[in-house]
């Protein structure tokens, strides 16, 4: 058991454990906080996979942007209080929760079976030490991914304009 294995088990346990807490908490505010913890775990996995730029982007956008956005939405709409008990409120789940659980377990078993029954090849090669420079220069190069970069910029502009329009004064 090398250090990598131990770190992978720690980060994987944090990610999956926090994700299970997200699903099972009835209080949506607590679920949003557990989602933040799960995103921290995913950032740790990116560091293990030798993608440091993606780990930083994950921390900046998800943990620093999307998770606070979700927490703000929870606080502005229903607050931090515990949900009110009602006769049809099966611990925060809707009426078809058991079909959803069945479908999720079936999908997971199919994915795991396909993953484990395929021979993924031998050991991977090393990552270049200029991987961040190569990545960013490919991202903005005209013969690289400049077009998709520009399209995502336009997508962000349009979606944020739409979000502001949806919640603006009627």
Partner 1 sequence: MIPLEWILVLAAALFCIGAYSTLARRNGIAMLMGIELMLNAVNINLVAFWRYLEPNAASGQVFALSVYTVAVAETAVGLALMITIWRTRNTLSMDDMDLLHG
Q: Smallest distance, Å, CB 142 to partner 1?
A: 14
Closer residue to partner 1 in complex, CB, 88/142: 88
Instruction: Report the distance separating Cα 138 and Cα 51, nearest Å.
Output: 15
Q: Smallest distance, Å, CB 99 to partner 1?
A: 8
Q: Smallest distance, Å, CB 10 to partner 1?
A: 12
Residues 73-132 that bind partner 1 (CB under 8 A): 73-74, 76-78, 83, 88-89, 92-97, 99-101, 103-105, 107-108, 111-112, 115-116, 120-121, 123-128, 131
Among 64, 65, 82, 150, binds partner 1 (CB under 8 A): 65
Among 20, 64, 68, 150, binds partner 1 (CB under 8 A): 20
- Residue 145 is a binding residue for partner 1 (CB under 8 A): yes
Instruction: Report the distance separating Cα 46 and Cα 54, nearest Å.
Output: 7
Residues 40-59 that bind partner 1 (CB under 8 A): 42, 45-46, 48-51, 53-54, 57-58
- Residue 22 is a binding residue for partner 1 (CB under 8 A): yes
- Residue 148 is a binding residue for partner 1 (CB under 8 A): yes
- Residue 3 is a binding residue for partner 1 (CB under 8 A): no
Instruction: Report the distance separating Cα 170 and Cα 168, nearest Å.
Output: 6
CA dist 113 → 33, 117, 152 (Å): 32, 6, 35
Tokens coding 21: 């807490």
Alpha carbon 25 to its chain's center: 18
- Residue 144 is a binding residue for partner 1 (CB under 8 A): yes
- Site size with partner 1, rule: CB under 8 A: 86
Listing DSSP states for 87-129 in one string gives TT-BTTB-TTHHHHHHHHHHHHHHHHHHHHTS---SPPPPPPT
- Residue 163 is a binding residue for partner 1 (CB under 8 A): yes
Tokens coding 118: 């395929």
CA angle 114, 118, 124 (to 5 degrees): 125
């Amino acid at each position: 058991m090398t250090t990598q294995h131990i770190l992978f088990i720690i980060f994987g346990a944090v990610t999956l454990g926090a994700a299970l807490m997200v699903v099972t908490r009835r209080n949506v505010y607590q679920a949003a906080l557990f989602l933040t913890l799960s995103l921290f775990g995913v950032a740790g996995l990116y560091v293990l996979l030798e993608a440091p730029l993606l780990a930083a982007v994950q921390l900046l956008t998800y943990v620093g942007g999307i998770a606070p956005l979700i927490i703000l939405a929870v606080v502005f709409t229903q607050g931090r209080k515990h949900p009110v008990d009602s006769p049809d409120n099966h611990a925060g789940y809707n009426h078809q929760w058991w079909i959803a659980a069945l479908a999720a377990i079936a999908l997971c078993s199919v994915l795991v079976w396909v993953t484990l029954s395929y021979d993924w090849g031998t050991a991977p090669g090393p990552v270049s030490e200029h991987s961040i420079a190569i990545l960013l220069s490919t991202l903005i190069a005209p013969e690289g991914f400049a077009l998709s970069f520009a399209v995502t910029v336009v997508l962000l502009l349009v979606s944020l304009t739409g979000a502001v329009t949806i919640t603006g004064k009627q």
